[in-house]
Structure 1
Amino acid sequence: MKEKTIDYVLRATWMAVAKMYNEEAGKQGSTMATGFILLNIDPEKGTPSTSLGPQMGMEATSLSRTLKTMENKGLITREKNPEDGRSVLIKLTTFGVNMRDYSKKVVLKFDEKVQEHISVEDLQTFKKVANVISDLIANRKIYN
């Protein structure tokens, strides 16, 4: 393709980022999805399982499968939510907190390296463009 579409650039870039994160996570016997979930769990209070999927944009079945794996690996526990008996809180174990810290370092190093090579202005423009694309999709302004 002589000229790359916006979709191509987004997809190729995200695939490269995902591959990089999975390689780093693999060094600790983990995955990018696991690291992403760990970063979205409140390390002190835990997080209701029902709020994890929507805040991360994950499908319920994929999230359930990953949470089960995380529980089997000793990263999380599931406890009844004292504020809502119908809900379950996902809490980090000590191992989960350590892996969350590792995931956080990986993400921050990525940010740091990107910021070394891209100006603040260009990053602001990138974020603005990404937000416009997200809004167009969320508000169904592309395909009615």
Structure 2
Amino acid sequence: MQLKSYKLELLIVTSVILSACGSAPLSFIEAKPRSALMPLNHYPVRVIAVDESLQFSMPVQLAAGKRQLVLEAYPSKSAARTPQKVVFMDIQPCTRYFLLAKRSSAMQADWELVKTDTETVSGCNPEDEMKKSQ
């Protein structure tokens, strides 16, 4: 009897996980250039957190809406430590954002965020994604 109960619980958990995959938000942050060529004094950024939730993988997948990002620029050869910055972005549904850090020189640790490009995520319906994010 316990084995049947265990199988039922496993089936319920699996179906919940699979249904969550189908409703995952389809907006992304790519903290790297879209092409292999990076402009002078531009560096990849690392997404530390989104809405106070730590991030460990790239690209970062997130729901549409106003989001708080904690970002850190990759160090240059001359500036080993870089400050983390809090940035607010209005994330649109079905959009992939390409972000970079720009320094006035390779010697500087400070940087500013540059949104280099966006692209539409194929096979994604913006109206459905907005409903999911609410």
Q: Normalising by structure 2, report the TM-score.
A: 0.31
Larger strand fraction of residues: 2
Report which structure shows greater RCO (CA 8 Å, sep ≥6): 2
Max Rg structure: 2
Larger helix fraction of residues: 1
